[in-house]
């Protein structure tokens, strides 16, 4: 059988949700690679097919995948399944945060060993910190590294949709989570703090948050549950207590900003005298997402002006432009 035949059979078995056939054809394919003396490839594929997570979840993944839950009132999907292929090296962050994330990943991989000592891996993690510092990005990276799909839930969308429906929406989301092993991200968890001025809404949201916390407590799942917010001050102690770890994302210091400039500007050729340290020193208070935006602006300016090299001038201008833009935004917000 040719490689194409095998892959075609593999796809068909996936479509038919026939897990046993899928595994059998995958094995045939590995043997096929071995016969071609592609031992490294074969080993790699074997590892992917029989990794702890895939064997554990194969049944769930192929047999009882539930339909994506939808809002009863309006019918919009309550979550999204996303797949990423990112390396942890793409995250430029303090070594403390990297260590915390690493720990979550390693404990998940060694969950079986930990359980023989009656210990549980950290599963519920709260990400806090300023916008654009890498909270959503970290969830994508954990999902990539663990080779698990990311179940993405916009917490605010579920709640703001229709308050009366929220509890049942949450129930559906948790039922879905329990049907498999995933990395789950409750993003934009901020809603909890936002409506505190409106007493009626606030009371309702409080009830919803309580039912969320109860569902979180009762959740029986191997999944990693992440929640991200940039209003950490507003989260009360009852919420903090529910999480096994809280990771606080700070704005990058000058060294990290320099690294960010270097990485984001990698794709383009640069003048020899370009000074990344200067760019880093000019961008105090910028988040990684801000620096990304500035570097993209600088590269675009260089490219459309038909220069094939990026100069310091483009970087400086893009930084200044960003600072002006932020000033306008802050002035407008101040007027409110
Ligand atoms: N620490 C980082 N290292 C590298 N790139 C980063 C980092 N933080 C953010 N970025 C870049 O900025 C983009 C936006 O970041 P992200 O969405 O993770 O921010 P966030 O913390 O979730 O912000 P928000 O609170 O607004 O949701 C990312 O997709 C990534 O390209
Ligand atoms: Mg985010």
pLDDT single digits (tens) 144-184: 999 999 999 988 777 765 667 777 888 899 999 999 999 99
> Higher-confidence residue: 325 or 332?
325
Task: List, in sequence order, the alpha helices (H) in 219-269.
Answer: 237-242, 254-264
> Residue 290 falls within a domain, yes or no?
yes
Do 268 and 317 lie in one domain? The reply is yes
Please indicate, yes or no, if residue 13 is contained in any of the structural domains.
Answer: yes
Q: Does 258 share its domain with 320?
A: yes
- CA 68 to CA 149: how far, in whole Å? 14
Stretch among 76-85, 191-200, 270-279 having the lowest mean pLDDT:
191-200
DSSP per residue over 204-229, as a string? Answer: HHHHHHHHHHHHHHH---SSEEEEEE
Asked which of 249, 274, 304 is the last residue of a domain, the reply is 249
The rounded Å distance from CA 230 to ligand 2 centre is 8
Closest protein CA for atom 24 of ligand 1: 131
Atom of ligand 1 nearest to the CA of 252: 1
Provide the pLDDT for residue 133.
97
Percentage of residues of the chain with pLDDT beyond 90: 53
**To the nearest whole number, what is the mean pLDDT of the chain?**
86
CA distance 164 to 166: 6
pLDDT of residue 59: 42
Q: Is the CB of 137 under 6 A from ligand 1?
A: yes
Q: Does residue 72 lie in a domain region?
A: no
**Contact status, residue 78 vs residue 169, Cβ threshold 8 Å:** yes
Is 67 inside a domain boundary?
A: no
Q: Are 95 and 144 in a shared domain?
A: yes
Distance of alpha carbon 129 from alpha carbon 132, whole angstroms:
9
- Residue 134 Cβ < 6 Å to ligand 1: yes
CATH number at residue 209: 3.40.50.300
> Domain ends where: 228, 249, 270?
249
Residue 292 near ligand 1, beta carbon < 6 Å? yes
Q: Does residue 265 sit in the same domain as residue 185?
A: no
42 and 175 housed in the same domain: no
User: How much distance in Å is there from the Cα of 274 to the middle of ligand 2?
Assistant: 31
For ligand 1, say whether the CB of 301 is within 6 Å of any of its atoms: no
Evaluate whether residue 90 is within a structural domain: yes
Q: Is 230 in the pocket of ligand 1 (CB under 6 A)?
A: yes
The residue whose CB lies within 8 Å of the most ligand 1 atoms, and thus the one to mutate among 137, 193, 258, is 137
- What residue owns the CA closest to ligand 1's atom 27? 131
Same domain, 184 and 277: no
325 occurs within a structural domain: yes
Task: Confirm whether 226 is domain-assigned.
Answer: yes
| Cα 271 to middle of ligand 2, angstroms | 34
Last residue of a domain, one of 190, 222, 249: 249
Share of the chain above pLDDT 70, in %: 89
Domain of residue 266 covers: 254-335
pLDDT band of residue 31 (cuts 50, 70, 90) is: confident
What tokens were used for 17? 């949700």
Specify if 70 maps to a domain. no
Both 162 and 266 in one domain: the answer is: no
119 and 24 together in one domain: no
135 C-beta closer than 6 A to ligand 1: yes
Asked if residue 278 has pLDDT above 90, the reply is yes
> Is residue 256 within 6 Å of ligand 1 at its C-beta?
no
201 vs 104, which has greater pLDDT? 104
Q: Structurally, how many domains does the chain consist of?
A: 3
Q: Does residue 279 share a domain with residue 260?
A: yes
* 87 and 199, same domain (yes or no): yes
At 283, which CATH number?
1.10.8.60
| pLDDT reported for residue 160 | 61
CA separation for the pair 269, 255 (Å, rounded): 22
Ligand 1 neighbour 133 (Cβ under 6 A): yes
Residues 84 and 231 in one domain: yes
In this structure, the answer to whether residues 188 and 131 fall within a common structural domain is yes
Q: Is the pLDDT of residue 52 over 50?
A: no
Q: Does residue 136 have its Cβ closer than 6 Å to ligand 1?
A: yes
Residue range 222-253, pLDDT digits in tens: 999 999 998 877 677 777 888 999 999 999 99
Which atom number of ligand 1 is nearest to the Cα of residue 139? 18
């Amino acid at each position: 059988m040719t490689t194409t035949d095998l892959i075609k059979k593999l796809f068909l078995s996936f479509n038919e949700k026939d897990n046993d056939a899928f595994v059998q054809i995958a094995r045939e394919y590995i043997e096929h690679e071995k016969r071609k003396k592609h031992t490294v490839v074969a080993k790699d594929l074997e590892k992917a097919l029989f990794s702890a997570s895939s064997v554990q979840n194969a049944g769930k993944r192929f047999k009882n995948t539930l339909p994506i839950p939808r809002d009863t009132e309006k019918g919009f999907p309550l979550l999204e399944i996303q797949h990423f292929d990112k390396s942890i090296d793409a995250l430029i962050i303090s070594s403390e945060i990297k260590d915390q994330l690493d720990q979550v990943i390693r404990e998940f991989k060694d969950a079986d060993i930990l359980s023989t000592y009656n210990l549980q891996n950290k599963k519920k993690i709260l990400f806090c910190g300023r916008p654009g510092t890498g909270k959503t990005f970290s969830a994508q990276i954990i999902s990539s590294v663990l080779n698990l799909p990311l179940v993405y839930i916009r917490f605010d969308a579920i709640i703001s949709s229709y308050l009366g429906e929220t509890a049942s929406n949450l129930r559906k989301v948790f039922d879905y989570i329990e049907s498999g092993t995933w990395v789950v991200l409750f993003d934009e968890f901020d809603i909890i703090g936002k409506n505190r001025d409106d007493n009626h809404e606030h009371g309702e949201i409080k009830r919803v948050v309580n039912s969320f916390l109860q569902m979180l407590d009762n959740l029986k799942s191997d999944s990693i549950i992440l929640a991200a917010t940039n209003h950490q001050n507003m989260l009360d102690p009852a919420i903090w207590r529910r999480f096994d770890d809280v990771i606080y994302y700070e704005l990058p210091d000058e060294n990290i900003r320099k690294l960010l400039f270097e990485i984001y500007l990698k794709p383009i050729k640069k003048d020899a005298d370009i000074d990344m340290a200067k760019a880093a020193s000019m961008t105090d208070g910028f988040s990684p997402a801000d620096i990304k935006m500035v570097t993209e602006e600088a590269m675009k300016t260089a490219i459309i002006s038909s220069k094939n090299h990026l100069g310091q001038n483009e970087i400086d201008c893009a930084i200044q432009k960003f600072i002006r833009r932020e000033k306008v935004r802050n002035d407008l917000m101040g007027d409110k």
